[in-house]
Amino acid sequence: MQMLSTEEGQQFAKEHGLIFMEASAKTAQNVEEAFINTAATIYKKIQDGVFDVSNESYGIKIGYGGIQGPTGGRDGSSSQAGGCCS
């Protein structure tokens, strides 16, 4: 396994327009946050019109319910919004 320095990871992410977060699979530190922050960033870009969900080149597919807000949170709450998993 190859270890990267924080600076190397940040530089690579910056050069490629990626999100950078340090996380540990061993301790699970920041693993959930990495997924949540990435999903939130993608969702905001969809809302801001940066990503066109009708353009397959973005790799985004709309489910049964179309674009909806989050249906659950860290506190375990969920909405009754419908969609594929209600």
pLDDT in tens, 12-63: 999 999 999 999 989 999 999 999 999 999 889 989 999 888 888 878 777 7
* Contact between residue 59 and residue 42 where contact means Cβ atoms under 8 Å apart: no
What does pTM read for this prediction? 0.57
Place of tokens 């996380």: 23
pLDDT band at 66 (very low <50, low <70, confident <90, very high): low
Phi, psi angle pair for 78, to nearest 5°: -145, 155
* Contact between residue 33 and residue 21 where contact means Cβ atoms under 8 Å apart: yes
> Which residues, other chains included, contact 18 with Cβ-Cβ below 8 Å and sequence gap of 6+?
12
